[in-house]
Structure 1
Amino acid sequence: MKFIHTSDWHIGRQFHNVSLLEDQRHVLDQLLAYMTEEAVDALVIAGDIYDRSIPPAAAVELLDDLLTRICMEMQIPVILIPGNHDSAQRLRFGSRQLGQSGLHILGDLNKVKEPVVIRHADGDVAFYGMPYNDPETVRNLFDEPVSTYDEAHSFLVQQILSCTSSEMSNVLASHCFIDGAEESESERPLSIGGSDRVSYQPCVPFDYVALGHLHSPQYKGKEHIRYSGSLLKYSFSEQHQNKGVTLVDLNRNGLQSVTHLPLSPLRNMRVLEGELTTLLEQGKTDPHNEDYLLVRLTDRHAILDPMSKLRAVYPNVLQLEKPGMLATGEQQMSRDKLKRNELDMFCDFFVQVSGQELTADQLAAIQQTIAEIHQQEQNS
C-alpha cells in the first residue's frame, strides 16, 4: 500500500504582504499529479492546512476544490489533522458526514484511539491522528497530571499504542516539535522557552510516523519518524531546502520504502548579494527574475531609491538589506533582535524601564500570560 505524507500547506499565507495563493495552487496541482502517477491509496496531511484559524475565503475555496477532486473524482481517501495554525473546532466541522465521502478529519483528542483503517490486498493500515495539543488541554480533558508538552505527547501516544493491532500496519500522524529537529524562521513557536519539544522515543513502535510543524524535510531519531516539510519556502532561511512530499510504501511486513517527491515552485525564494550595478545587469538576463528575493547590497556608498531600481529587473524583491552601510556588529545585532520572541523582548523592555532583571516569580507570571494569549489566539 502506498500513501503520500504531506503537511504545513499554510493555505492563505502572505509573505511580506504578498499573497502566496497562486504559488500554493501551483504546487498542489503537482501533488495531484503525483497521486495519480504513483497510484496512491491515501493522502495524509499532518496539520497546518490553513495559515490561520480564520482563513480567508479564497483559501477555503482552494482547499474545498482540492479535496473535492481528491475524494470525489480520484476516489482517494484523505486523513488530516489540525495543526497549531488551524482551528481544530472549525476544521473538523461536519467531519462525521465527510468521513463517509473519504475525508477523515481527525481533530478530536477524545477520539485519538479511533483509527481510520484502509483495507488493502498488501495488508490493512490503521491511521491514527493526534492533532496539535498543549499540556493544559490534555490535563483537563483526560484528568492526567501532565505539565509539559513532552508528557502530554507521550501520554497520548501511549493511549494509542494500547489499542493498536499487530494484524495490520499502524501509522501515526502528529503535529509537534520533536526535540533536536531542524527548525526554520517561518514556523510559529508552539510555546516559549523551548518547552514545546517532545521526545521521538514513544513513537518508535509505529510502522510510520507522519509529522507536521517543522518546514524542513527530515527524520529524527529513527528513519520512519519523519517530517515531510512544507509545500513551499515560507522564509528566506529556507532558500536551500528541497521542498516536496513523502511517498510511503507499506506491506504486511511493515515499512518498505520512503521516497521524497520534489515540488517545483512557481516562484522560488532566493537571497541575492552584491553591488547594485552588478545585480541590475544580472537581472536583465536572469531567467528566474520573478522569484521572491531578499537582496543584500554590498555597496558602501549612499544609493537613491535602490528598491525601485531593483524592481525594474526583479519585480518581486520583497526585502532589502544594506549591510555595507552599517558596521558588521550593528547589522548582526539588528538581525538578532528580529529573531527574538515575545518573552525576550519583554525582558529587554523591563530592564530598560526598571533598570533591573525580572525576578523568578515575575518571569513565571509573564510566561504564563504569554502562553494564555497564544491559547486564546489558537481558539479564536
Structure 2
Amino acid sequence: MKFIHTSDWHIGRQLHNQSLLEDQRHVLAQIVELAVTHDVDAVIIAGDIYDRSVPPANAVALLDEVVNRLVNELKIPVIMIAGNHDGHERLGFASRQMRESGLHIIGPLNNTLVPIEIVGKSGNAMFYGLPYADPATVRHVFDSEVNTHEQAMVQLLEQVSEHDSQGLPKVVISHCFLDGGSESESERPLSIGGADKISSTVFTPFSYAALGHLHGPQYKGEEHVRYSGSILKYSFSEQHQNKSVTLVELTPEGVASIELLPLSAMRDVRIIEGELDALLEAGKTDLQREDYLMVRLLDKKAILDPMGKLRAVYPNVLHLERTGLMANNSQLAIGRDHIKKGELDMFTDFFSQVSGEPMSEEQQAVMVNAIDELHRVERTS
C-alpha cells in the first residue's frame, strides 16, 4: 500500500494581501504528477483544504480541478478531512454521493466512525478520517465529559482502536496540535493557554498517523506520527522550511517506509536585509528577484518612497521594515514579540495596565472560555 500524505493546502490564501492562487495551482499540479510518478494508491489531505470557512469561488474551482484530475481521470482515491480553517458542513456537502467515485470527504464530526478501505496494488489498508473537533464539539456529538483537546482525541481514537480492521494496517488522519511541535506564524491557534496540545503517544499504536495543522514537515515521538506540512510557505517565518509531501509505503504488517518528496514553488518566500542602495544594486543580478520578499532596510536616514524604489527592482516586495530607524534594537524585538502575542496575553497585559493588578485564575478561565467560543463561532459561521 502506497499513498501520499499532504495537508494544509489553504486554497484561497493571501500573503500580505497578495493572492497565492496561481502559486497554489503550480504546486498542486506537482502533487498530481508525483502521485502518477510514484504510482500511489491514494492521496490524503489532512485538513485545511481551504483557507477560510467560506472560500472564494476561484478557490473552489481550483480544488474541483485537482480532484477531478486525481479521482476521475487518474482513478486515484482521495481522502480529505476538514481542518480548523474549513467550513465543515460546506466541505462535506454531497460527500456520501461522491464516495463511490473514490472521493472521500469527512466534513462534520459524526458519532459513527466510517472506516475507508483502500485497495492497493500490493496490499490494502484501513483509513480513519477524524475531522478537526474542539472539546465542546466532541462533548455535544458523543454526549461525553471531555474538557481538553487530548481528552477529545482519546475519545475519537477509541473507535479506531475498537474497530476490527481484519488485520489490515490502520492509518489515522487527523488535524491537531501535538505537544512539542514546531510552530509557524501562519497557523491559527486551535485554542489558547496551551489547552490545544495533544501527546503524540495517543497515535503510536497505529500504523501511521497522517497529521495536519503544523506547517513545517516533522514528526513527534515516533517517526510514523507525522505532519506533512503545508504545500507553500504561508508566512515569512517559514522562509527556511523545505516544503514537501510525504510518500508512505506500508507493508501488509503495517510497517511504514517514509520518503519526503520536495515541492518547488513558483516564487520563494524570503527576507532580505541591507541598505537601500546595496539592495537595489544586488537586485539587478538577483535571479530570484520576483520572489515574495520582506525587506529590512538598515538605512538610518529618511528615504523618499522606499517601497516604490524597491518594487522597481523587486516587483513582489510585500512588507517593508525600517529597522535602521530603530535606535534601540531591543525595542524592535519587543515590538515583534508583542505582535506575536495571542488574544489572552494581550488582554492580560491590558487588564494589568488598566486595573493595576494581574488577572486572577478565575478571571483567566472566563477569558479562555470566551475566546475559545469566539473562535468556534468564527469557524462555523
Q: TM-score, normalised by structure 1?
A: 0.98
Equivalent residue for 1:342? Answer: 343
Equivalent residue for 1:351? Answer: 352
Equivalent residue for 2:245? Answer: 245
Residue 12 of structure 1, CA deviation? 0.2
**Alpha-carbon distance between aligned partners in 2 of 1:364 and 1:120, rounded to the nearest angstrom:** 49
- Say which SS state the counterpart of residue 370 (structure 2) adopts: helix
- The answer on whether the counterparts of 2:41 and 2:121 sit within 8 Å (CA) in structure 1 is no
Tell me, yes or no, if structure 1 residue 66 matches structure 2 residue 66.
yes
Letter in 1 for 2:331: E
Residues 228 and 148 of structure 1: CA distance in aligned 2, closer, same or farther (over 3 Å): same
Residue 108 of structure 1, CA deviation? 4.0
- The answer on whether the counterparts of 1:112 and 1:128 sit within 8 Å (CA) in structure 2 is no
**Alpha-carbon distance between aligned partners in 2 of 1:33 and 1:164, rounded to the nearest angstrom:** 34
Residue 121 of structure 1, CA deviation? 4.7
1:6-35 Cα shifts (integer Å, max 9, x gaps): 000000001111100010000001011101
Equivalent residue for 2:375? Answer: 374
Higher mean displacement: 132-141 or 115-124: 115-124
**Alpha-carbon distance between aligned partners in 1 of 2:6 and 2:202, rounded to the nearest angstrom:** 22
Equivalent residue for 1:35? Answer: 35
Equivalent residue for 1:14? Answer: 14
Equivalent residue for 2:211? Answer: 211
Tell me, yes or no, if structure 1 residue 138 matches structure 2 residue 175.
no
Tell me, yes or no, if structure 1 residue 299 matches structure 2 residue 303.
no
Residue 353 of structure 1, CA deviation? 2.5
1:175-223 Cα shifts (integer Å, max 9, x gaps): 0001001111100000011110001112111111100000000010000
**% identity of equivalent residues:** 58
- The answer on whether the counterparts of 1:134 and 1:152 sit within 8 Å (CA) in structure 2 is yes
Equivalent residue for 2:188? Answer: 188
- The answer on whether the counterparts of 2:224 and 2:256 sit within 8 Å (CA) in structure 1 is no
Equivalent residue for 2:263? Answer: 263
**Alpha-carbon distance between aligned partners in 2 of 1:351 and 1:320, rounded to the nearest angstrom:** 32
Residue 358 of structure 1, CA deviation? 2.1
1:250-289 Cα shifts (integer Å, max 9, x gaps): 1212234111011100010001011111100010111111
Tell me, yes or no, if structure 1 residue 316 matches structure 2 residue 307.
no
Tell me, yes or no, if structure 1 residue 289 matches structure 2 residue 289.
yes
Letter in 2 for 1:351: S
**Alpha-carbon distance between aligned partners in 2 of 1:81 and 1:141, rounded to the nearest angstrom:** 17
1:284-311 Cα shifts (integer Å, max 9, x gaps): 1111111000111112222222111111
Letter in 2 for 1:268: D
Equivalent residue for 1:225? Answer: 225
- The answer on whether the counterparts of 1:245 and 1:262 sit within 8 Å (CA) in structure 2 is yes
- Say which SS state the counterpart of residue 255 (structure 2) adopts: strand
Letter in 1 for 2:226: R
- Say which SS state the counterpart of residue 50 (structure 1) adopts: coil
Higher mean displacement: 355-364 or 79-88: 355-364
- Which sections of structure 2, spanning at least 5 residues, go unmatched? none
Residue 112 of structure 1, CA deviation? 5.7
- The answer on whether the counterparts of 1:158 and 1:202 sit within 8 Å (CA) in structure 2 is no
Residue 164 of structure 1, CA deviation? 3.9
Equivalent residue for 2:361? Answer: 360
Equivalent residue for 2:159? Answer: 159
Equivalent residue for 1:4? Answer: 4
Equivalent residue for 1:77? Answer: 77
Letter in 1 for 2:17: N
- The answer on whether the counterparts of 1:117 and 1:127 sit within 8 Å (CA) in structure 2 is yes
Residues 150 and 185 of structure 1: CA distance in aligned 2, closer, same or farther (over 3 Å): same
- Say which SS state the counterpart of residue 237 (structure 1) adopts: helix
- Say which SS state the counterpart of residue 29 (structure 1) adopts: helix
Matched residue pairs, number?
A: 380
Q: TM-score, normalised by structure 2?
A: 0.97
Tell me, yes or no, if structure 1 residue 200 matches structure 2 residue 200.
yes
**Alpha-carbon distance between aligned partners in 1 of 2:314 and 2:153, rounded to the nearest angstrom:** 45
Please tell me the root mean square deviation across aligned C-alpha atoms, in Å.
1.2
Equivalent residue for 1:117? Answer: 117
**Alpha-carbon distance between aligned partners in 2 of 1:30 and 1:190, rounded to the nearest angstrom:** 29
Letter in 1 for 2:73: E
Equivalent residue for 2:104? Answer: 104
**Alpha-carbon distance between aligned partners in 2 of 1:112 and 1:179, rounded to the nearest angstrom:** 27
Residues 11 and 202 of structure 1: CA distance in aligned 2, closer, same or farther (over 3 Å): same
Tell me, yes or no, if structure 1 residue 47 matches structure 2 residue 55.
no
**Alpha-carbon distance between aligned partners in 1 of 2:370 and 2:147, rounded to the nearest angstrom:** 16
- The answer on whether the counterparts of 2:126 and 2:171 sit within 8 Å (CA) in structure 1 is yes
- Say which SS state the counterpart of residue 281 (structure 1) adopts: helix
> Which runs of 4 or more aligned residues in structure 1 lie more than 3 Å from their structure 2 counterparts after TM superposition?
none
1:87-127 Cα shifts (integer Å, max 9, x gaps): 11110000000101110012243256321101235221000
Residues 322 and 164 of structure 1: CA distance in aligned 2, closer, same or farther (over 3 Å): farther
Equivalent residue for 2:26? Answer: 26
